């Protein structure tokens, strides 16, 4: 069994706390590695190294920092297969899905190549007699990110790429469930030319998280995970005077209008509801057909598609639709919520509770589930399941369907499928959710727009990636300048144009 490490000052460093977390192969249920859990002292060491390295990196001009990002993109493409295999081995998602994980992070890195343009300030000539005024965007110093298990490549890159492009040092605390890819990314960043100490990886649990939240040198913190933890990190981080952005749970609705292309809607729900075993904060977990006739037609389209889904290990290649969930505890939680849906009166149209894969009986596989006639008071509607479970809530009208999405405590993403432009426009304008898809099931913006939810899905004033990232990882300094060239009689200054 392999013991993993931290990554400090350009080197793999063994953990010294004596505490470890098991890293599983989700397909077999076997422990394949141990992840060290950092102590407060180890976090402090990482911060000390980062603080010493950051001033020199912050003084490097943005164009040269952008060249590191350019080289990093080349290396990501070179090692795409290697990264995807390591990701699938620890997370369980299929290889195409794992490559997509890396690719979406890579696209943010590509956007960060534009740092010289994004970091330009403003200038006003002659704001007053002989006075000029200008602003500068300057790095914060030492920044940090706490990232989840479900996207161990993409979300770390969403955070550290813009932070580093802005001239900061970055301390990454990835999920202890699948930590290998973040360590590999740190190696590639230094191969791309990043100075030692600018990107550090510290593995850990709550002890490491609290050390990051409380350390006075760390200026900003990013987080993606569950809403209760997001609220905790946001509150504690802000109380310590840090700039904090936290993104939490989700319960994403897809409204299906009577005029929708039902085949297109059903195909969208299959990919968005069951892809990556539903372990996505942008998964569609609630279908809301408007009218019983629409619901009946949608269920009729969904059932045969769901029954044909192929569940298996990533080693089976492209023939698998989705793999196992990440841990045995995750599987137990999903099945517990499925049982609650049955107990509370929902109709279980497709039952995946007895799913078993020959040769992988100890793996964390969960069969696909489809519920119909779910009501808003049920646990499977209120809670984020994070598994291959789709709930159908029948709405009597468009207004009722819109109200379901608006009244839910989560506000990450939503979608509507319709052929009617007026309905789509009204939905986009009125719904109180951060990301909206129109005939698009998972409305994840591209890297040059921003990503972020509303309500209990997002905490903080700025979103992830896009222009907001450059605002989050810099401070604005405004300078008002005048240059006296000599003195008149009586001690009065006079000014003349500079050569």
pLDDT at 317: 80
pLDDT at 352: 95
Residue pLDDT, tens place only, 347-366: 999 999 999 999 999 999 99
Band of pLDDT at residue 484, cut at 50, 70 and 90: confident
**Spatial distance between the Cα atoms of 63 and 211, rounded to a whole number of angstroms:** 33
Residue pLDDT, tens place only, 27-43: 999 999 999 999 999 99
Whether 381 and 375 have beta carbons less than 8 Å apart is answered as yes
* pLDDT at residue 497 is higher than 90: no
From the list 311, 457, 328, 330, the residue with the least C-alpha distance to 387 is 330
Sheet arrangement for strand 11-13: 11-13, 6-8, 199-201, 169-173, 142-146, 218-224, 243-247, 458-459
What value does the mean pLDDT take over residues 85-99? 96
Number of CB atoms found within 10 A of residue 486's CB = 8
Q: And the tokens for 212?
A: 């990051």
Residue pLDDT, tens place only, 246-302: 999 999 999 999 999 999 999 999 999 999 999 999 999 999 999 999 999 999 999
What value does the mean pLDDT take over residues 303-332? 95
Lowest mean pLDDT among 6-20, 68-82, 364-378, 441-455: 441-455
Whether 316 and 88 have beta carbons less than 8 Å apart is answered as no
- Mean pLDDT score of the chain: 95
From the list 262, 482, 295, the residue with the least C-alpha distance to 400 is 295
- Intra-chain end-to-end CA distance of the chain, in Å: 69
**Spatial distance between the Cα atoms of 39 and 428, rounded to a whole number of angstroms:** 46
Q: And the tokens for 333?
A: 């939680």
* pLDDT at residue 452 is higher than 50: yes
Secondary structure of residue 339 in the 3-state scheme: helix
Number of CB atoms found within 10 A of residue 179's CB = 27
DSSP code, position 376 = T
* pLDDT at residue 494 is higher than 70: no
What value does the mean pLDDT take over residues 223-233? 96
User: Does 281 qualify as catalytic in the annotation?
Assistant: yes
Which of left, alpha, beta for 298 (phi over 0: left; psi -120 to 50: alpha)? Answer: alpha
Domains within the chain, CATH numbers bracketed: 2-248+457-479 (3.40.605.10), 252-438 (3.40.309.10)
**Spatial distance between the Cα atoms of 393 and 470, rounded to a whole number of angstroms:** 40
pLDDT at 1: 80
* pLDDT at residue 498 is higher than 50: no
Whether 376 and 351 have beta carbons less than 8 Å apart is answered as no
Exposed, middle or buried by CB within 10 Å (0-12, 13-18, 19+), for 254?
buried
Dihedral of the alpha carbons of 137, 161, 463, 90, in degrees to the nearest 10: -160
* pLDDT at residue 483 is higher than 90: no
Residue pLDDT, tens place only, 128-170: 888 999 999 999 999 999 999 999 999 999 999 999 999 999 9
Strand partners, 416: 255, 438
Residue pLDDT, tens place only, 368-426: 999 999 999 999 999 999 999 999 999 999 999 999 999 999 999 999 999 999 999 99
pLDDT at 319: 86
Residue pLDDT, tens place only, 320-338: 999 999 999 999 999 999 9
71: Cβ contacts below 8 Å, ≥ 6 apart: 191, 192, 193
More confident site: 335 or 461: 335
* pLDDT at residue 499 is higher than 50: no
**Spatial distance between the Cα atoms of 35 and 18, rounded to a whole number of angstroms:** 11
> Helices (DSSP H) in 113-226: which residue ranges?
115-118, 154-165, 180-191, 206-214
Band of pLDDT at residue 490, cut at 50, 70 and 90: low
pLDDT at 486: 56
155: Cβ contacts below 8 Å, ≥ 6 apart: 105, 145, 147, 148, 224
**Spatial distance between the Cα atoms of 464 and 281, rounded to a whole number of angstroms:** 14
Secondary structure of residue 482 in the 3-state scheme: strand
E-assigned strands of 225-382? 243-247, 252-256, 284-289, 347-350, 369-372
pTM of the full predicted structure? 0.94
């Amino acid at each position: 069994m392999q013991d993993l490490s931290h990554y400090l000052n350009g080197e793999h460093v063994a953990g010294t706390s004596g505490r470890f977390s098991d890293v599983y192969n989700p397909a077999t249920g076997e422990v394949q590695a141990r992840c060290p859990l950092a102590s407060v002292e180890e976090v402090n060491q990482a911060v000390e190294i980062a603080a010493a390295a950051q001033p020199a990196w912050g003084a490097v001009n943005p164009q040269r920092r952008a060249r590191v990002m350019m080289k990093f993109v080349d290396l990501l493409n070179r090692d795409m297969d290697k990264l995807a295999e390591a990701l699938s081995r620890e997370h369980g998602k299929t290889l195409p899905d794992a490559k997509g994980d890396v690719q979406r992070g890579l696209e943010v890195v590509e956007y960060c190549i534009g740092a010289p343009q994004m970091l330009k300030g403003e200038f006003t000539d002659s704001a007053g007699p002989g006075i000029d005024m200008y602003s500068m965007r300057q790095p914060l110093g030492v920044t940090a990110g706490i990232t989840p298990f479900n996207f161990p490549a993409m979300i770390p890159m969403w955070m550290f790429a813009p932070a580093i492009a802005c001239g900061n040092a970055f301390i990454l605390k990835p999920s202890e469930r699948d930590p290998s890819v973040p360590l590999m990314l740190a190696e590639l960043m230094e191969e791309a030319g990043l100075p030692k100490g600018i990107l550090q990886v510290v593995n850990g649990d709550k002890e490491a998280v609290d050390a990051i939240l409380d350390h006075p040198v760390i200026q900003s913190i990013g987080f993606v995970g569950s809403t209760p933890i997001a609220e905790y990190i946001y509150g504690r981080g802000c109380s310590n005077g840090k700039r904090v952005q936290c993104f939490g749970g989700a319960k994403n609705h897809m409204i299906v209008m009577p005029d929708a292309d039902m085949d297109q809607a059903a195909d969208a729900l299959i990919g968005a509801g069951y892809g990556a075993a539903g372990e996505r904060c942008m998964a569609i977990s609630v279908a809301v057909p408007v009218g019983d006739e629409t619901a009946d037609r949608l269920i009729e389209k969904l059932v045969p598609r769901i029954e044909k889904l192929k569940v298996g290990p990533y080693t089976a290649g492209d023939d698998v639709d989705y793999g196992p969930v990440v841990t045995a505890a995750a599987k137990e939680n999903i099945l517990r919520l499925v049982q609650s849906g049955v107990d509370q009166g929902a109709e279980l149209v497709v039952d995946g509770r007895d799913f078993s894969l020959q040769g992988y009986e100890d793996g964390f596989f969960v069969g696909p589930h489809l519920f119909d006639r779910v009501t808003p008071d049920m646990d499977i509607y209120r809670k984020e399941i994070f598994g291959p479970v789709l709930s159908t809530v029948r709405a009597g009208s468009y207004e009722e369907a819109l109200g379901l999405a608006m009244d839910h405590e989560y506000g990450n993403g939503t979608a509507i499928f319709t052929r009617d432009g007026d309905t789509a426009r009204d939905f986009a304008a009125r719904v109180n959710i951060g990301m909206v898809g129109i005939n698009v099931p998972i409305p994840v913006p591209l890297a040059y727009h921003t990503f972020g939810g509303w309500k209990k899905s997002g905490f903080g004033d700025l979103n992830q990636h896009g222009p907001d990232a450059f605002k989050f990882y810099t401070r604005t300094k405004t300078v008002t300048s005048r240059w006296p060239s000599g003195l008149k009689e009586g001690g009065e200054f006079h000014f003349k144009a500079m050569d």
